[in-house]
């Protein structure tokens, strides 16, 4: 039997076509610990069931020392994706910002679950179906990543909750910043600028838009930034 393909409208009869979830694949750039951008795609991808520390969030390690856990989470995600940077993402939902909320795979692994299992993100229980609860329990018990020290859950951090050490650091201001390489995003791509370089002083960092500070050039390169050309 020949398949019949109906037009969208036949006279006064309108046919509603079902909307199917997208599958997206391509080269990915890490925006933060739970957000990706596919090259050539305008829509950003939010990892389903995952909530990672915010870009400028700090946590305490096992010795009680502060570190940039938001940056470490983004680095962990970049490592999971690997050098070829290719991911395949299957849409689960859309968030209020219009981002695709998806489960993504790279190098044969579910990177959503793996990021939680490594301890660099927690399960976003409010919006997930509990599928990564085992990974979080494993990370917590093994004291991996964030769980080796103390931290504020990302959703509480966004509401203003802070560790005592972090609140004191925010009061002290940017003088305490130890990472001074600027990760800028422009029409030329993701470019990092080291202190003393040509455009360093004039480069402003807007962390809300995905720009970042790095502690080393290797860290910047691993996250998908490059040195200026020329």
pLDDT of amino acid 177: 53
Which two structure tokens, joined as six digits, stand for 92?
């689960």
For residue 62, what pLDDT is reported? 94
Q: How far is CA 175 from CA 69, 171, 172, 178, 203, in A?
A: 19, 10, 7, 8, 18
pLDDT of 153-212, one tens digit each? 999 999 899 999 777 655 544 444 568 899 999 878 899 999 888 888 878 888 767 888
- Calculate the alpha carbon distances from 119 to 34, 112, 143, 207 in Å: 13, 11, 8, 23
Q: In the CATH scheme, what is the code of domain 23-174?
A: 2.40.50.90
Which one-letter DSSP state was computed for residue 127? T
- What is residue 43's predicted lDDT score, i.e. its pLDDT? 82
Residues of the chain with CATH 2.40.50.90: 23-174
CA distance 49 to 93: 11
How buried is 109 (Cβ within 10 angstroms: 0-12 exposed, 13-18 middle, 19+ buried)? middle
Q: Which residue has the tokens 């409010």?
A: 126
Report whether 26 contacts 41 (CB < 8 A).
yes
pLDDT, tens only, 3-59: 433 344 434 344 444 446 689 999 999 999 999 999 988 888 999 999 999 988 999
Query: Distance (Å, rounded) from C-alpha 144 to C-alpha 117?
Result: 8
The neighbouring-strand residues paired with 91 are 102
- What pLDDT, on the 0 to 100 scale, is given for residue 200? 86
Residue 98: pLDDT band by 50, 70, 90 thresholds? confident
């Amino acid at each position: 039997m020949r398949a019949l393909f109906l037009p969208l409208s036949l006279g006064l009869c309108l046919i509603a076509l079902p909307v199917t979830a997208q599958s997206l694949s391509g080269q990915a750039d890490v925006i933060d610990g739970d957000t990706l951008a596919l090259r050539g795609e305008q829509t950003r991808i939010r990892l389903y069931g995952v909530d990672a520390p915010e870009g400028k969030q700090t946590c305490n390690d096992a010795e009680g020392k502060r570190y940039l856990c938001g940056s470490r989470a983004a680095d962990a995600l970049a490592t999971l994706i690997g050098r070829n940077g290719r991911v395949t993402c299957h849409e689960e939902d859309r968030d209020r910002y219009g981002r695709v909320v998806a489960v993504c795979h790279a190098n044969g692994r579910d990177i959503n679950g793996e990021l939680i299992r490594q301890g660099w993100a927690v399960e976003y229980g409010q919006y997930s179906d509990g599928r990564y609860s085992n990974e979080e329990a494993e990370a917590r018990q093994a004291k991996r990543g964030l769980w080796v020290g103390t931290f504020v859950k990302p959703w509480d951090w966004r509401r203003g909750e802070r560790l005592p050490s972090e609140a004191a650091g925010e009061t002290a201001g940017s003088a305490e910043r130890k990472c001074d390489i600027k990760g800028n995003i422009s029409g030329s791509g993701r470019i990092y600028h080291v202190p003393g370089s040509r455009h360093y002083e004039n480069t402003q960092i807007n962390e809300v838009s995905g720009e970042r500070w790095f502690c080393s050039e290797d860290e910047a390169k691993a996250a998908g930034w490059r040195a200026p050309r020329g």
